[in-house]
Amino acid sequence: MEIQEKMKTLMELYEKDKELIKIQNLEKEVPEEITRLDEELNELSEKLGEEEKSSEEIDTRRLDLEREVEEQRLNLKNFRKRKMEVHTNKEFLTLKSEIEHTEKKIIELEDELIDVYLEKEEQEKKTDEASCIYNNKKEEIEKIKESLNKKLADSKEGLLIKEDERKRIAARLQDEILLKKYDRLKESRGRGVSIIENEICPECHSTIPPQLFAEVRRGDKIITCHSCGRILLYKWIE
């Protein structure tokens, strides 16, 4: 095989490896994205849980206050009943004081209860809002995850096809030494070739001497970058 044909084959190999890397990155990125989405949903779930807990705490306070109001009303009823049955002025004044104190206490409790009712109303709005946000986000995330999982499944099928295509391209190169050099560079530097169109290596950004650039353009021999060691291929190779 002529040198230029080998260069064209290396170019094909490079393009196929880019496709494979894209798929391999996807197999890493999809699980990471799903984990991120799950964490986002968990944060909203925790926020909803906090709002629900606050609502439950308000309910507990409300029930305690309602129970206490009922107890005080029962006390007031008993005091008033006993007041009708006293025989001494001292007992009368004592019960009168108890009645006044209890009536005042009931008013205070009822005022506090009104505040709790209002607080509960506001808290229900917050809880409903958090619930709505959570449910909408959950639905959205489930759709995204379904799409990502499908993309991942498709990529795994595509990986086998593209790996087979790569093997056939590599076999066409018919140069074991050059293939090993390319593969070694790809493993150590991420890419085995550098596709140039001017006197700058796009991989390491070093300057390519004019004479060397001219030789790369001629394409009559394999040339590597003096800085990064990658095989230099001219972008518009004939």
Burial of 201 (0-12, 13-18, 19+ CB in 10 A): buried
| DSSP 8-state symbol, 197 | S
Q: Domain segments of the chain: what residues? A: 16-173, 175-238
Whole-angstrom Cα distance, residue 41 to residue 38?
5
H runs (alpha helix) in the chain: 3-83, 89-173, 176-189, 210-218
Instruction: Tell whether pTM > 0.85.
Output: no
User: Which pLDDT band, with edges at 50, 70 and 90, does 193 fall under?
Assistant: very high
Whole-angstrom Cα distance, residue 225 to residue 233?
10
Burial annotation 31-47 (CB, 10 A radius, 16+ → b, else e): eeebeebeeebeebeee
| DSSP 8-state symbol, 207 | B
User: 101-121 pLDDT, tens per residue?
Assistant: 999 999 999 999 999 999 999
pLDDT of the residue at 237? 66
**What is the mean pLDDT of the segment spanning 183-203?**
94
User: 144-188 pLDDT, tens per residue?
Assistant: 999 999 999 888 888 889 999 999 999 999 999 999 999 999 999
User: 63-88 pLDDT, tens per residue?
Assistant: 999 999 999 999 999 999 998 888 89
Question: How many other C-beta atoms lie within 10 A of the C-beta of residue 75?
Answer: 16
Whole-angstrom Cα distance, residue 182 to residue 14?
9
pLDDT of the residue at 83? 87
Considering the chain, what percentage of its residues have pLDDT values greater than 90?
82
Q: How far is CA 212 from CA 22, 40, 171, 224, in A?
A: 32, 53, 29, 10
Phi-psi region of 51 (alpha: psi -120 to 50; beta: other; left: phi over 0): alpha
* CATH placement of domain 16-173: 1.10.287.1490
Question: Please, what is the average pLDDT of the chain?
Answer: 93
Nearest to 197 by CA among 225, 237, 226, 228: 237
Identify whether the C-beta of residue 192 lies closer than 8 Å to the C-beta of residue 17: yes
- Residue 238, pLDDT > 60, answer no
